[in-house]
Amino acid sequence: MTAAALLEILDDLRARPRTPDRGPVRRAALGYLTALVREGLDLDEQEPIPDDRPIGEVGVDSLLALELGDRIAEDIGVTLSAETLADQPTLRQLADRLAAEVPAAAA
């Protein structure tokens, strides 16, 4: 799935009323982030990217982390600080953060 397709899913989820079950938003955010990392590292779609390891361990360096932050802000309006990205969160942690902030970004 491409980042553009995942953006459509996120847009659809943003349009829905906020519900206690954030699972669909988290899954969409994780798919979106994985697609961005895969694109940034020039990996094919079949290459697994662990979502439970720090992003630095999967190959995201500081320059790519900043590019990802810029892309996320541009695509969905959520700003991740340089400190957040420098702390080497996992993709799962970033997805949780995005899932929490995506509805606020749509307002």
CA-based Rg of the chain, rounded to a whole angstrom?
A: 13
Q: Quick one: which of 87, 32, 9, 84 has its CA closest to 54?
A: 87
pLDDT, tens digit (0-9, with 9 covering 90-100), for 15-63: 665 555 667 778 888 988 998 999 999 998 888 899 999 999 999 998 9
pLDDT of residue 98: 85
pLDDT of 85 strictly over 90: no
Query: Is 77 or 33 the better-scoring residue by pLDDT?
Result: 33
Does this model's pTM top 0.85? no
Phi (first) and psi of residue 21, to 5 degrees: -85, 100
Run of H or E residues at 93: helix 91-106
Q: What is the end-to-end Cα distance of the chain in Å, rounded?
A: 26
Helix (H, G, I), strand (E, B) or coil at 60: coil
Q: Quick one: which of 73, 1, 67 has its CA closest to 31?
A: 1
Whole-angstrom Cα distance, residue 107 to residue 103? 7
